[in-house]
Structure 1
Amino acid sequence: MNPLLHRLQPYPFERLRQLTRDIMPNPALRPISLGLGEPRHPTPALIEEALTSSLKGLSSYPATAGDPQLREAAAGWLQRRYGVAVDAATQVLPVNGSREALFSLAQSVIDPTRPGATVVCPNPFYQIYEGAALLSGAEVAFANSDPARNFAPDWSQIDGATWARTQLVYVCSPGNPTGAVMPLDEWRTLFELSDRHGFVIASDECYSEIYFRDEPPLGGLQAAKALGRDDFRRLVMLTSLSKRSNVPGMRSGFVAGDAEVMKQFLLYRTYHGSAMSPVVQSASIAAWNDEDHVVANRELYRTKFAQVTPVLQAVMDVALPDASFYLWAGVPAAFNGDDIAFARGLLAQYNVAVLPGSLLARSAHGSNPGAGRVRLALVAEVAECLEAAQRIASYVKSL
């Protein structure tokens, strides 16, 4: 067996199951989960119709590069959303969800024969980043989130020697779990470091279409264009329909950016066997070409957060994020920063499941930046999320 598999850590949800296996939740209350970030709004009818009307595509082997129409749809969306122009033939690849691409990109980018091969990622983070790095033979360096900057990662924590060994940097903007959006100045800093040390930047932007302010979140390609980097050198952005269009089970997204990186990534994926089903491609074309359902979806989240956030703010340290569908809440002082104890007590007494922040992070630079916080995924309907918030408020008041 591959010895690198032993370096992987259990997924946060598996760790939480182990930490709560002795708990019998309050049977008087129906269970409500704010733990899993799985979109639960209805899938738009236009996507379902496109999916079912293209079943004849099942009789054909798909090309790894995808249907030209799908690549054009993705390029058209990038132009409309970010004002950036990409060559659909050489700078866009469809992928089976951003998770698959985040993992496989590292396998095609990392050269493990170079001493000290390193991947830098934010902390807390989406655990695929760490797993992808370790299974590519690299080490992981973490940039802790900074509470003073709405929990955006502090890239200055990475020293010069580490940057010199870095081959790949994962950026998550809007961030999971914090919802922080990286501003242009920080993109400039990363681009300058990339020019100096030659590493690739992978910008995970799967939450980009769920935001609460008038100005949509800045994207990586958009930042590059603003800074005169129209070739998108050493930059790849990854996005998905899962959150934008409420189709997590469809497993559809795309990757776009540096043509040379994309060429090598396509070569890897051709052997990896990751071509997208023609049926899913047809539905994806319909999704990327329609914006009305995205606007409606965003309004559902805005309504939900507008009702839920004040209830929680009355009892916890929590604020509306820049974007995404998470609240990153501080546990009450009575717990002395023990987010796991808070989650266990809430589950036992009020039958509400939340994800402890310490399970989403690693100890680095002298601390675990997720400790003392919990991630609340507001993915259910408004009434259910509001009931969960009211139970959490009752729990905190009972302490």
Structure 2
Amino acid sequence: MINASLARLADYPFTRLAQLLQPVAPPGGLTALALSVGEPQHAPPALLAETLSASADGWNRYPQVNGTPALREAIAGWLKRRYRLAEGTIDPDRAILPLSGTREGLFLLAQLSAPGEPTDRPPAVLLPNPFYAAYEGAAVIAGAEPVFLDATAATGFLPDLDALDRDLLDRTRLFYLCTPANPQGAAADAAYLARAIGLARRHGFILAVDECYAEIYDRTPPTGALEVAGAMDGGALDNLLVFHSLSKRSNAAGLRSGFVAGDPRLIAAFAQLRSYAMAGMPLAIQAASAALWNDDAHVEENRARYRAAFDAAHQAIGDRFGFYRPDGGFFLWLDVGDGESAARDLWQAEGLRVLPGAYITRPDRAGRNHGAPYIRVALVHDSAIVADAMARLTDFLDQRLAHRRTGS
């Protein structure tokens, strides 16, 4: 029989988007453009293909789940450079586990954190609202209650930690926190992260910090949870796991390569769980991943491309639709009044595919979906394409708004 928990899940966001757009077609004469998915369109660095080719002798060997020492050392070295970690903060043999993309790890984590015995009340999994769909799916399939924490402009686009009551925290097993946030791009500062880590330790839950957008930033490198933990309580990593990926950092979404790092006790349990559920990362991919984590030059070039894309978007949009330059990531979170109808109309009139904010947001207790007015726009193309797309988007939305005001 099919797992009944699946019935508790709403349709996957991109399934809903396909259903919304299926009855309409983009216009002829215009190049249709996908701005709905966070899939980088810039070419990955040449060293990726070079290393894969040079490592072809590993394709006939089963890889170990915990990865090669070379990959773990490369990851540890990057973490130390990026977050200025003190020597000894991250043990590459005990505090790092490679993943075949962070989605698998984020999903499996809910299985790791679920209680082994039935309880009077379901365990809670906290997640930001808007959210990454894997968080909700993981919580539901694990038999937990997903608790959506509104992250709106009023809360700085991050969950309000002061609004969490003790009863909820006491039954929380896992808290997914994305920083920089998807889609709003808000980055948690050191004080916020220290508060979240403290709550996890006092109430005995896992804090899972999804930092996959941390290398795509405009000006200031976002603070990392490991660097905050390293300055607390003698540098202990208790109750903390962070997730990183090469998909955004190195334009290598198809490589399916990331890692989880943090509390050695949790990493050991994670490795045990992954041994049953997942195969190890192929050795050639591990070698290419190590080469990418060891190289920072291509990442700075990548950031420059995204800065140029945001410059082009800012020039086209100005201060309309609540435009702002996010702390990190490559999304725009634009207030267009009705995100679902705007997404349909933009596809039909301009061939621009964007994601309605309501599809990645759940209604609050009063029934209000705070994401409904928004669309998420992924600036994953080069600046010239972005400039053209944003001019088309802005002109159309301006005309649409003018027609609504005049009733024509």
Say which is worse superposed, 76-85 or 5-14, in terms of deviation.
5-14
2:309/2:381 contact within 8 Å kept? no
- The question of 1:397 aligning with 2:398 is answered yes
Q: Partners of 1:241 and 1:396 in 2: how far apart?
A: 34
The letter of the residue matching 1:364 is: D
- SS of residue matched to 2:111: helix
Provide Cα deviations, 1:307-336, integer angstroms capped at 9, x if missing partner. 2123112532110001001011110xxxxx
Aligned partner of 2:351 in structure 1 is: 351
Question: How many angstroms does 1:397 deviate by?
Answer: 2.4
* Regions of 4+ moved over 4 Å: none
Letter in 2 for 1:395: F
TM-score (ref. length: structure 1): 0.96
After superposition, what is the alpha-carbon deviation per residue over 1:280-313, rounded to whole angstroms, capped at 9, x for unaligned?
0000010000000001001110111112123112
**1:99 and 2:103 correspond:** yes
Q: How far is the alpha carbon of 1:229 from its aligned partner?
A: 5.3
SS of the aligned residue for 2:36 comes to coil
**Alignment partner of 1:122 out of 112, 123, 128:** 128
Alignment of 1:321-336 (within 5 A): 321-331=326-336
Residue aligned with 2:332, SS: strand
Q: 1:95 touches 1:274 (CA, 8 Å); kept in 2? A: no
Aligned 8 A contact 2:312 2:386 in 1: no
For structure 2, list consecutive stretches of 5 or more residues without a partner in the other structure: 401-408
Aligned AA (1:200): I
Which amino acid in 2 is paired with 1:116? Answer: P
State the alpha-carbon separation in 1 of the partners of residues 80 and 348 from structure 2: 49
Stretch moving more, 304-313 or 198-207: 304-313
1:86 aligned partner, one-letter code: I
Paired residue type of 2:360: L
- Structure 1 residue identity aligned to 2:166: G
Where do residues 274-313 of structure 1 align in structure 2 (5 Å cutoff)?
Answer: 274-313=279-318
Worse overlay, 107-116 or 286-295: 107-116
**1:379-394 counterparts in 2 under 5 A?**
379-394=380-395
SS in 2 for 1:187: helix
Report the AA paired with residue 88 of structure 1: P
Q: Which residue of 1 aligns with 2:60?
A: 59
**Matches of 1:15 and 1:107, distance apart in 2:** 26
Identity of aligned residues (%): 41
**Could you say what secondary structure the match of 1:40 adopts?**
coil
Letter aligned with residue 252 of structure 1: S
Report the CA distance shift for 1:347/1:197 in structure 2 as closer, same or farther (over 3 A).
Answer: same
2-structure distance, mates of 1:75, 1:32? 38
Q: How large is the RMSD of aligned CA atoms in angstroms?
A: 1.3
Aligned-pair CA distance for 1:243: 0.3
Task: Report the secondary structure of 2:94's partner residue.
Answer: coil
1:346 maps to amino acid:
L
Question: Which amino acid in the other structure matches residue 242 of structure 2?
Answer: M
- 1:138 aligned residue (119, 141, 144): 144
Matches within 5 A, 1:125-274: 125-213=131-219, 215-228=220-233, 230-274=235-279
SS of the equivalent of 1:181 reads: coil
Cα distance in 1 between the residues matched to 2:338 and 2:312: 27
**Aligned match of 1:89:** 93
Q: SS state of the match for residue 152, structure 1?
A: coil
